[in-house]
Structure 1
Amino acid sequence: MAGGLPGRLLLRRENPGKTSFLELFFDLAFIFALTRLSRALLDDLSLTGGFRVLLMLAALWWVWFVTAWSADWFDPRAPLIVTLLLWVMFGGLLMAAAVPTVFDGHAMVFAVAYVAIHLGRAAILLPALQGHPLQVRSLRVAVWFAISGVLWVVGAAVAPAREVLWALALVLEYSLARLRWPFPRLGRSTWPELQVSGSHLSERYQQIFIIALGELILVTGVTYSQSGLDRYSTVAFALAFVTVVALARLYLVPAGARLGARIEAEGPPGSKLTLLAGYLHLVMIVGVLGTSVAMEIAIADPSERDPGQLVVGVVGPVLFLTARILLAAVVDGTLPWARLIGVPAIILGGLAAWRLPPVGTSAVVAGVLLLIVLLDAMPGLRRLVRPVGGRDAPDQRPGVRPDA
């Protein structure tokens, strides 16, 4: 088997690969997608607009996540895997290009590209895995994507039911991954069949989160350069910079750097943690996207009161912090008290800033995030981190730095 085609495609589990250039190249499609999504949210800050953007982001995230998971098993230098990644990248670019007009006439482009990505992956991998146990795993996934694909295509064709059918398809796909893709006569995948390299996947999570922050910097920078560089826009731009630095620091310290080690320590069941981390990263990216839109509005119109800007400017950081707290809980078994207090502090600060212009609400949110970072950095206060789930907090274990 080792000399056959499957053997040449697969990476050895004991010798996992680093992120390849092609994987980073693939991530460029996600940068484009995030810029399109932020524009779509900016154009429609209503509940309906927000829900639609969430649907599209969840679909694009699932493309990225399933591809990152698949790439963890295969040698990215193999010509077949290069073809696979380029196929997914092109499909992702088609989906991203359709984002601004998905609900105005280009829903079929988005849906067909999404379905073609997942079924195309199966069409490439199944023949190559002939005779290998992983072929059955890939077949289970492909069958379910074919079933959910019907919901995507019908939803694209039937506009009144589009949001409902697409939401149902996403719930089905996200749930089936947690259930390990069970199907009659094909069984369900075992956790060893789904085992991933913790170091590789955690590195990929960090890279995609940095890309989300990069979208925030890109959008705010472009908006500022077009604003006339006046005093209030400059203040709003400075607050955006403070916010992105705070988000980066809060993500990386402490559990962001230890996710890989925890996945490796769990062994095959660590795949459950990998999947949960994927869901939580989606929530964090939603938070960053909302923050990006709020900062863009604040820079473009710093003195014009905008209720929509306030809502996304508060909800975005709250979603990020909540998901980040949950990630710390599952990785380190801790509940960082400064961050727990930070969630209601941002909400209360937003309510207090209801009548302030966008630059004022941005200052409140940036101030709270910066305060959380400062409190996190105080060694004496960090000892107050509360352990959960029966495990000691990482800073209570001898020889382990709490900010490692």
Structure 2
Amino acid sequence: MIALGEPILVTGLTFGTGEFTADRSAATLVAFATTALLWRIYIHRAGALLADAMTATPRPGRIVVLTNYSHVIMVAGIITIAVGDELVIQHPLGHTHPAWILVILSGPALFLAGRATFEYAVFGRVSLPRALGALALVALTPAMRRVPPLAVATAAALILAGVAVADALRTRRFPAEPASPPVRRSWAGRGRKGPGL
């Protein structure tokens, strides 16, 4: 949660040190919307059940390791997003350098990968919308070479919005599920398999 303050701080400082133009204002709004979507995706269900997951498994150390790695990946994504926000606010229009595309799209992809790992630690499954969102961000990379940085950032925000909407729809359709951390499968293929969300 503290890491989510980084893109907000960078966005505010970057916007405040330049001209107040329509394109920079739009880039700032996209940056703030992206941060709000990250927060929404992060808090959805799994975080509230982490303690339950640790008590529901005979190997809580494995959950601790997965949780730590997942948060390192999410924080790396958030820091990358902050760098991308700064680039987009400073240069919202014009040519998008290939390295900028990688920064702008890889931040959200890293965040979704980390969040999917965190969900696996708690529920023993990977959320399909998170996996599809990360894959969509990777797949979009070649197509973004001809659009301005603001359009690249907007595309990333729309994919994050799709993940957040999928979370909300799942919450309405299904009751809250209990924590069910991953179970080590035996050679005979036994073990618990979570619902493929």
Give TM class, smaller chain. 0.7 to 0.9
User: Structure 2 residue aligned with 1:281, among 71, 95, 106?
Assistant: 71
The residue aligned with 2:145 is 354
User: What code does the residue aligned with 1:323 have?
Assistant: G
The residue aligned with 2:12 is 221
User: Structure 2 residue aligned with 1:338, among 120, 129, 140?
Assistant: 129
Structure 2 contact 66–117 (Cα < 8 Å) conserved: no
Structure 1 contact 375–381 (Cα < 8 Å) conserved: no
Q: Residue 217 of structure 1 aligns to a residue in which SS?
A: helix
> Whole-Å Cα distance in 1 between the matches of residues 173 and 135 of structure 2?
19
Structure 1 contact 264–270 (Cα < 8 Å) conserved: yes
Structure 1 contact 303–358 (Cα < 8 Å) conserved: yes
User: What code does the residue aligned with 1:344 have?
Assistant: L
> Whole-Å Cα distance in 2 between the matches of residues 251 and 380 of structure 1?
14
User: What code does the residue aligned with 1:211 have?
Assistant: I
For residue 272 of structure 1, report the CA deviation from its aligned partner.
2.6
Structure 2 contact 81–107 (Cα < 8 Å) conserved: yes
Structure 1 contact 350–365 (Cα < 8 Å) conserved: no
Q: Residue 130 of structure 2 aligns to a residue in which SS?
A: helix
The residue aligned with 1:296 is 86
User: Structure 2 residue aligned with 1:369, among 125, 148, 160?
Assistant: 160
The residue aligned with 2:21 is 230
Structure 1 contact 321–339 (Cα < 8 Å) conserved: yes
The residue aligned with 1:327 is 118
For residue 336 of structure 1, report the CA deviation from its aligned partner.
1.5
What does residue range 102-181 of structure 1 map to in structure 2 within 5 Å? none
CA RMSD of aligned residues (A): 2.3
> Whole-Å Cα distance in 2 between the matches of residues 291 and 350 of structure 1?
15
Structure 2, gaps ≥5 residues long: 175-179, 184-191
For residue 326 of structure 1, report the CA deviation from its aligned partner.
1.6
- Kindly name which structure, 1 or 2, has the bigger radius of gyration based on alpha carbons: 1
The residue aligned with 1:309 is 100
The 3 A distance-change label for structure 1 pair 231 and 323 is same
User: What code does the residue aligned with 2:64 have?
Assistant: T
> Whole-Å Cα distance in 2 between the matches of residues 344 and 379 of structure 1?
20
> In the comparison of the two structures, how many residue pairs are matched?
182
Q: Could you tell me the TM-score, scaled by structure 2's length? A: 0.83
Q: Residue 271 of structure 1 aligns to a residue in which SS?
A: helix
Stretches of 4+ moved more than 6 A in 1? none
For residue 363 of structure 1, report the CA deviation from its aligned partner.
0.5
Identity of aligned residues (%): 30
User: What code does the residue aligned with 2:104 have?
Assistant: G
> Whole-Å Cα distance in 2 between the matches of residues 312 and 277 of structure 1?
24
The answer to whether structure 1 residue 244 and structure 2 residue 35 are counterparts is yes
Structure 1, gaps ≥5 residues long: 1-209, 396-404
> Whole-Å Cα distance in 2 between the matches of residues 275 and 379 of structure 1?
27
For residue 258 of structure 1, report the CA deviation from its aligned partner.
1.2
